[in-house]
Structure 1
Amino acid sequence: MVLHRTRYYPLAVQILAGICMVIAAIIALFLVLILLNANQSNPLVTFVGNIADWFAWLFHDMFSADNARIQALINYGLAALVYLGLAGLIHALGRRTVD
């Protein structure tokens, strides 16, 4: 019988990385809504905005710019990248090799 090495990711690692990726997707969705000038009084836009604001609270007004859209692009984009990087880190640290 031939033994070969395989890699697998425990369920907890997959769940945590998935949560971080969903958070990054929500922030990116709100960023797209901002850049497309979505109606801020629309309930869906408000809902997505409240969730994105809650997850990106560390990045509010981190960088300032003259244009509000550019400022949102920088701050929310940075938040989304941090969550994607965190998902990648969790995924890389959770990898196991089995004989």
Structure 2
Amino acid sequence: MSPRHGNGSNQAATVIAVVADILAGVIGLWILMYLLDANRANDLVQFVQDAARWLAGWSHDLFTFDAAWLRVVAGYGLAAVVYLFIGHLVAGRLRRY
């Protein structure tokens, strides 16, 4: 294996890990804003909510707890954990090669 190949794999792995962290961070930021009752009329809050809803579209209504805050934390939190897990798993595999 050439050093050049390993370096490219490490750079790709780093990019994948950072992207996964950013995606999970956006979702985590929305959870925090929701729990702190951020003003949803604010453009930044609306942008973060829209981005998180798009990223967690498959999981944001997955659970049917009675408490709304618990549905948000569980549904969006699951998406954030999946992004972190898969992103870092792929990055780890790339670093091995």
Q: Report the TM-score range of the alignment, normalised by the length of the smaller protein.
A: 0.7 to 0.9
Identity %: 36
Kindly provide the CA deviation profile for residues 37-83 of structure 1, in whole angstroms up to 9, marking residues without a partner as x: 11111111000111111111110211111111110010011111001
Q: Which runs of 4+ in 1 moved over 4 A?
A: none
Question: Which one has a larger percent strand, Structure 1 or Structure 2?
Answer: 1
For structure 2, the 5+ residue unaligned runs are 1-5
Q: Which residue in the other structure is 1:21 paired with?
A: 21
Q: TM-score, normalised by structure 2?
A: 0.85
Question: Which one has a larger percent helix, Structure 1 or Structure 2?
Answer: 2
Q: Which residue in the other structure is 1:71 paired with?
A: 71
| Contact 2:12–2:91 (8 Å) recurs in 1 | no
Find the residue that maps to 2:58 and give its secondary structure: helix
Instruction: Count residues in correspondence.
Output: 91
Which structure has more relative contact order (CA 8 Å, sep 6+)? It is: 1
- CA drift of 1:94 comes to 1.0
Amino acid across the alignment from 1:35: L
Amino acid across the alignment from 1:36: L
> 2-side partners of 1:32 and 1:95: how far apart?
32
Matches within 5 A, 1:39-78: 39-78=39-78
For structure 1, the 5+ residue unaligned runs are 1-6
> 1-side partners of 2:15 and 2:88: how far apart?
12
RMSD over aligned Cα, in angstroms? 1.6
Q: TM-score, normalised by structure 1?
A: 0.84
